[in-house]
Amino acid sequence: MNPISIGALLSGLGVIFGAFGTHGLRGKIGYDLLQIYETGTHYMIIHAAAILMYGLWHRSQPAATRPKCWPATAFLVGIVIFTGSLYTITFTAIREFGMITPVGGVLMIVGWIGFGKQAWNK
């Protein structure tokens, strides 16, 4: 896994999704669903930046003692589950998909804790 490439790609997708929400969805879906979509995009961009930051920090560590890259994986899977469930709610209006949203949020938290622990130990 190359966190810098993945973080950059997700950042670009976040901008595309944000623009789509602003220009493509406004006025076409209800305000409540638009807010759900915007929350997904917001968290996607924040955690794409987290993956980029982690990748840069990770790369700065000596290769011999570089930790496993699992916090970036937790961020990535968290983005897919959290944002994906919110986007699914937006386009289907089936709010039951919200039951899996917290799983993505927990994975994002796990990523932050893992990143912090790895950085602390260095």
Kindly list the domain boundaries of the chain, sorted by start residue: 3-121
The whole-model pTM stands at 0.94
pLDDT (0 to 100) of residue 81: 98
pLDDT (0 to 100) of residue 30: 95
For helices 70-92 and 31-60, angle between their N-to-C axes, nearest 10 degrees: 170
- pLDDT confidence tier of residue 122, bands split at 50, 70 and 90: confident
Q: Two tokens at 66?
A: 């570089």
**48-97 residue pLDDT tens:** 999 999 999 999 999 999 999 999 999 999 999 999 999 999 999 999 99
| Segment 16-41 mean pLDDT | 96
Q: What is the dihedral of CA 15, 19, 25, 27, to 10 degrees?
A: 140
- Could you give the angle at the alpha carbon of 77 between the alpha carbons of 71 and 81, nearest 5°? 140
Percent of the chain past pLDDT 70, that is, above it, reads 100
